[in-house]
Amino acid sequence: KKDIESKLPLRGKKILITAGPTYEAIDPVRFIGNHSSGKMGFDIANCAANLGAEVTLISGPTHLKPANSSINLVRVVSAQDMFDACHQYYETCNVAICAAAVADYKPKQVAEQKIKKSEVEFSIELEKTKDILASLGKIKKNQYLIGFALETENEIENAKLKIQKKNLDLIVLNSLRDEGAGFGKSTNKVTFISNDFAIEPQALKSKEEVANDIVNKIISYYEKDI
Ligand code: CTP
Ligand code: CA
């Protein structure tokens, strides 16, 4: 058994992964959310854990359960909750992967009581949430930091800007243009862009396969290190 364990390429590596949507409360019964299923992040977590990594998975609301029982699952609701949990685990981790679809805006005020309908128009004032990935990039020491980018125009240019702005080592650009890719689907069309701006477009693959490719990127990064 020891022999097998020593061959696990991510043994001894601590990996932090965010997954799923965040819910931003409007009042006690309503929220602003999105269609993220969390599947991409959960697949990365399983793949990394199966290869020996010590995984902490910080997930917004989802019905998914981690397949590998060694995964430390931290369930959160809002962007602020996810921000706090990430910063709690980041300092000691070797790799962080932000796959969550974090809400960019939240209601400026959360009503204490259920908002009643009336005959007039109603609007909610929104303010920005904190950018978790950018914050992790700012305080980065030795961590290998991976982000995702969801773009519908100027995809490569926008993704490159995100690498620089958020101080990333690798970005996984998600294309929504191809049918079969994206939210709620089991497949993704991604392009890897590294911080030296090497661009590697990938074929349409299952999310499990994309997760495996991302984990292989991490493994080859550490192999180069030795
Ligand atoms: N992200 C994050 N915290 C936020 C917003 C985004 O950690 N508050 C992370 C996502 O998990 C993803 C990356 O940042 O890894 C890019 O998310 P994306 O929505 O594509 O980009 P934004 O920076 O939010 O910019 P925009 O939505 O305007 O394109
Ligand atoms: Ca966003």
pLDDT tens for each residue of 116-138: 999 999 999 999 999 999 999 99
Cβ burial of 8 (10 Å; 0-12, 13-18, 19+) is middle
The domain total for the chain is 1
- Residue 175's pLDDT is what? 83
**Locus of tokens 């679809």:** 101
Q: What was the ipTM of the complex prediction? A: 0.99
In a domain, 114, yes or no: no
Residue 156 sits in a domain whose CATH number is 3.40.50.10300
Judge whether residue 189 has pLDDT over 60: yes
Phi-psi region of 182 (alpha: psi -120 to 50; beta: other; left: phi over 0): left
What is the distance in A from the centroid of ligand 2 to the CA of 173?
13
Q: Name the residue range of residue 93's domain.
A: 2-105+128-225
With a Cβ cut-off of 6 Å, ligand 1 is lined by: 18, 79, 98, 100, 102, 104, 129, 131-133, 147-150, 162
In a domain, 88, yes or no: yes
pLDDT tens for each residue of 25-62: 999 999 999 999 999 999 999 999 999 999 999 999 99
